[in-house]
């Protein structure tokens, strides 16, 4: 249904001082702090986890060398969604508006709606990261204590006991990350890059990571995490996270958090000959997800 004059009564009368409600700033591209972006030219993308070789055994003198096999373990699929929104203005509403260009005002609102949807969909990968209803390629949620591996046993990228954000929980998380193994049980060098928190934890994160000394103690100890540069990219606030006490750590594991762009944002406008209405549309296609769970560590909070 087109936006008509009955919905814009005050904009058709003299004496109006201001129009407001559509000019708010917005949080821009917070998904870029979590996901690595790639382009796609297919309806979906798949990424396959490979298992290499186990630890090399000792070969006895004169004995034959041992052979090992490599194989695929699981596949992560990214199915692109089409996100689109449109609005229409009647010819009369455009003609009789006294104060501003209707089209420019509402196209800005359209852009804000599209941007908000993208940020919500991106954050939902973390918001649903502890839920078994949203499994990854290995059949487990992004964060769990029992990620299966080929021969390396179950592995964890969340604490065994849920913990709130504090110095101890962050130190334990860093230790856990340093113990990550590959699909055959070989230790791998994965490092934390940044801490991701909701707005409710930004002040806690600032104190923990930026204080020169330990937080909330009377000891004259240094802030070990800050001194050792354990979070080289610091912390970021994501305003679309829904759990007020959950926190996440992005690591440098390759092929972790992924954002595929199938069709970038496009806009269109056309007039209807019979009605005179003008229609405006915005559209894009993308997907968010994860391939290797080792790219993220998280705690749901105590």
Please give the Cα distance from 297 to 302 (Å, whole number): 15
Rounded-to-integer distance, Cα 198 and Cα 241, Å: 6
Task: Report the distance separating Cα 233 and Cα 238, nearest Å.
Answer: 15
- pTM comes to 0.88
Measured in whole angstroms, how far is the alpha carbon of residue 254 from the centre of its chain? 15
pLDDT tens for the chain, 302 residues: list them. Answer: 666 545 544 444 454 334 444 566 778 899 999 999 999 999 999 999 999 999 999 999 999 999 999 999 999 999 999 999 998 888 887 777 644 566 677 788 888 899 999 999 999 999 999 999 999 999 999 999 999 999 889 999 999 999 999 999 999 999 999 999 999 999 999 999 999 999 999 999 999 999 988 887 777 789 999 999 999 999 999 999 999 999 999 999 999 999 999 999 998 888 888 888 888 899 999 999 999 999 999 999 99
Residue 159 tokens, joined: 């604490």
Burial class of 232 by CB neighbour count within 10 A (0 to 12, 13 to 18, 19+): exposed
Cα-flanking dihedrals φ and ψ of residue 111, to 5°? -65, -40
Give rounded-to-5 percent helix, strand, coil for the chain.
25, 25, 50
Q: Where are the domains of the chain?
A: 76-299
């Amino acid at each position: 249904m087109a936006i008509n004059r009955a919905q814009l009564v005050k904009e058709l009368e003299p004496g109006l001082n201001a129009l407001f409600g559509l000019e708010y700033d917005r949080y821009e591209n917070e998904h870029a702090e979590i996901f690595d972006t790639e382009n796609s030219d297919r309806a979906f993308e798949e990424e396959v986890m490979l298992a290499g070789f186990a630890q090399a055994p000792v070969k006895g003198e004169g004995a034959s060398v041992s052979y090992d096999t490599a194989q695929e373990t699981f596949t992560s699929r990214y199915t692109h969604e089409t996100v689109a929104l449109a609005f229409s203005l009647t010819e009369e509403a455009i003609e009789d508006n006294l104060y501003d260009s209707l089209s420019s005002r509402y196209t800005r609102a359209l852009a804000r709606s599209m941007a908000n949807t993208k940020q919500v969909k991106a954050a939902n990968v973390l918001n649903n990261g502890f839920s078994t209803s949203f499994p990854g390629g290995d059949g487990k949620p992004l964060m769990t204590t029992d990620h299966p591996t080929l021969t390396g046993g179950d592995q964890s990228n969340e604490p065994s006991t849920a913990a709130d954000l504090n110095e101890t929980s962050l130190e334990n998380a860093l230790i856990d990350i340093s113990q990550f193994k590959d699909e055959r049980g070989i230790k791998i060098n994965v490092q934390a890059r940044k801490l991701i928190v909701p707005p409710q934890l930004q002040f806690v994160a600032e104190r923990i990571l930026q204080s020169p000394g330990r937080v909330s103690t009377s000891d004259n100890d240094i802030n070990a995490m800050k001194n050792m540069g354990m979070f080289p990219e610091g912390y970021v606030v994501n305003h679309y996270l829904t759990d007020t006490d959950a926190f996440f750590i992005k690591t440098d594991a390759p092929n972790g958090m992924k954002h595929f762009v199938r069709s970038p944002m496009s806009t269109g406008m056309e007039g209807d000959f019979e009605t005179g209405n003008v229609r405006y549309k915005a559209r894009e296609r993308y997907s968010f997800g994860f391939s290797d769970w080792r790219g993220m560590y998280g705690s749901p909070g105590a």
